[in-house]
Amino acid sequence: MTPLLITPLIAVLAVPSLAVAVLVMSADYRISAALNVGFSVVSLAAAVWLLIEGPFVTELFLVDDFNIYLVLLNAFIGCTTAIFSAAYIGHELETGRLTPRILGLYHAMYQAMMGAMALALLSNNIGLMWVGIEVATVSTVMMVGIYRTPQALEAAWKYFILGSVGIALAFLGTIFVYVAAEQQLGGGLASMAWTGLKASAATLDAGLLSLAFVFLLIGYGTKAGLVPLHAWLPDAHAEGPTPVSAVLSGLLLNVALYALLRFKIILAGNPATIPVGPVLVVMGLVSLIFAAVMLYRRSDIKRFFAYSSIEHMGIVAFAFGMGGPLANFAGLMHMTMHSLTKSAIFFAVGHIAQVTHSQRFADIRGLSVSHPGLAVAFAFGVLAIAGLPPFGVFVSEFLVVSSSFARQPLLAVPLAIGLLIGFGALIWRLQDVLFGTPNPAYAPRQASLLPVYVHMILVLVAGLWLPDPVRRWFETVAAQLG
């Protein structure tokens, strides 16, 4: 291991830490917002640098094709969300919903969350990964309750309680994995390293690994928003600032699922353990169908798209549960397309809530007349997440469905039904928002939609043409997942 390879890793982890120390002392909103964007741009550059330097492993850290793909995705969406957040939070300050005193803390917690997720992704240590996800949870809890309204505080408290219970169970599962490994690897850091656990999986105690995964599934499944462990997610999205909704749906859910998939790889190396794939398939289908049905009962636009995130995490879990090269490829692509699309939708939704002064569908009408640019951006996002061609979500969903029909036709039927139910709800609500008579009280303000269009262009390009390096990247990780 050369110092040159360590340098980008240090940069990815150190930049957010430095940002927290600087931003928590910032008293001027404009300065803190600009610094937040600047640090996010530097973090994205560090992630690109890490990608260029390539895979490597140390006792505490691991960089491979799987996690560098997610580190880069996180850094990119973190950067575009920071740009969106600067305008969005500035408007909230102007309207009096937020005070200048608290905005330094908001931006500091944003960077803490980004740094913690990077730590969780890059850890070659199951304990260090647990710490990263716990810090990310605490950071987002503080941002969810930033409005200090009774509803926001209730949502933050619910998120904290359910998240803490989940992470405590994940910690217990982590201990069981360590105990199973200690018998073969001799304890210490060696018994907590992903690389060592994977290499010796076949010799580990299958009973302890199976018991551990039960706790890990409940713990990290809560973070991933899988049904029936999803109760915190709709409230956190509805009551927190919209930039938080964007990173929750686009990033944090992926990190929790990443942790589960790492443990799935370990259990797959020991044929005597419980079969993880069928468990993920069932939870994925239940999440998809439940969330798709619940979309019809949501009257709050942010809560609506929170349930849409549960639906799509169900699709991803189903794909990885099916396993195999094609289904894993589809799961990776869908994870990426959902992250880009859903964060773009929340960018648009944030602007919609600000110009209409409401999050209720009943109050949002006629945007195609009052704010045509915003209406087009929102329509692109909804049509993409609904799975219409030529967007990348269509390709990933098509691959999931086709691979299921080829291998398990009976499972493909409820999968397709769930997708159609969700599609109907999305198109219904899109018509409500775009058409009708707009309220004269709508604000004329139109913030920059550049982050929305940047995301949607990437999703469109992926649907039409997936570059060979990206395709090979997904194929390599799909093979790694088994």
Q: Which of 12-16, 158-162, 347-351 has the weakest average pLDDT? A: 158-162
DSSP one-letter code for 437: P
Residue 316 within any structural domain of the chain: yes
Confidence of residue 1 (pLDDT cuts 50, 70, 90): very low
Q: Which of 247-256, 308-317, 324-333 has the weakest average pLDDT? A: 247-256
- Which of 326, 216, 344 has its CA nearest to residue 276? 216
Summarize the confidence of residues 209-233 as an average pLDDT.
91
Confidence of residue 208 (pLDDT cuts 50, 70, 90): very high
Residue 383 within any structural domain of the chain: yes
Please write the tens of the pLDDT for every residue from 465-479.
Answer: 988 888 998 999 998
Which position has the token pair 């309204």? 149
Average pLDDT, the chain: 90
Structure tokens at 72: 């880069």
Residue 458 within any structural domain of the chain: yes
* Separation between Cα atoms, residue 317 and residue 279, nearest integer Å: 9
Please write the tens of the pLDDT for every residue from 37-81.
Answer: 999 999 999 999 999 887 888 888 999 989 999 999 999 999 999
Residue 93, pLDDT above cutoff 60:
yes
Residue 152, pLDDT above cutoff 90:
no
Q: Which amino acid is at 154?
A: E
Q: How many structural domains is the chain composed of? A: 1
Confidence of residue 163 (pLDDT cuts 50, 70, 90): confident
Residue 2, pLDDT above cutoff 60:
no
Summarize the confidence of residues 274-296 as an average pLDDT.
95
| pLDDT value at residue 400 | 95
Confidence of residue 381 (pLDDT cuts 50, 70, 90): very high
Task: Reduce the DSSP state of residue 275 to 3 states and report it.
Answer: coil
Q: What backbone torsions phi and psi does residue 144 show, to the nearest 5 degrees? A: -60, -40
Residue 217 within any structural domain of the chain: no
Residue 96 within any structural domain of the chain: no
* Separation between Cα atoms, residue 394 and residue 334, nearest integer Å: 9
Q: Which of 114-118, 425-429, 448-452 has the weakest average pLDDT? A: 448-452
Please write the tens of the pLDDT for every residue from 313-349.
Answer: 999 999 999 988 999 999 999 999 999 999 999 999 9
Residue 445, pLDDT above cutoff 60:
yes
Summarize the confidence of residues 19-28 as an average pLDDT.
83
Summarize the confidence of residues 373-395 as an average pLDDT.
94
Residue 265 within any structural domain of the chain: no
Q: Which amino acid is at 105?
A: L
* Separation between Cα atoms, residue 405 and residue 450, nearest integer Å: 39
% of the chain with per-residue pLDDT over 90: 55
Under 8 Å between Cβ of 438 and 367: yes
Structure tokens at 168: 């405590």
Residue 436, pLDDT above cutoff 80:
yes
* Separation between Cα atoms, residue 32 and residue 101, nearest integer Å: 11
SS (H, E, C) 402-416: HHHHHHCHHHHHHHH
Cα separation values, 207 from 126, 147, 271, 353, Å:
19, 46, 11, 51
Under 8 Å between Cβ of 144 and 236: yes
Containing 63, the helix (H) or strand (E) segment is strand 62-63
Q: How many CB atoms lie within 10 A of CB 58?
A: 16
| pLDDT value at residue 5 | 53
| pLDDT value at residue 446 | 63
Residue 169 within any structural domain of the chain: no
* Separation between Cα atoms, residue 335 and residue 353, nearest integer Å: 26
Residue 162, pLDDT above cutoff 90:
no
% of the chain with per-residue pLDDT over 70: 98
Q: Which amino acid is at 441?
A: A
- Note down the domain range covering 308: 277-482
Residue 170 within any structural domain of the chain: no
* Separation between Cα atoms, residue 380 and residue 393, nearest integer Å: 12
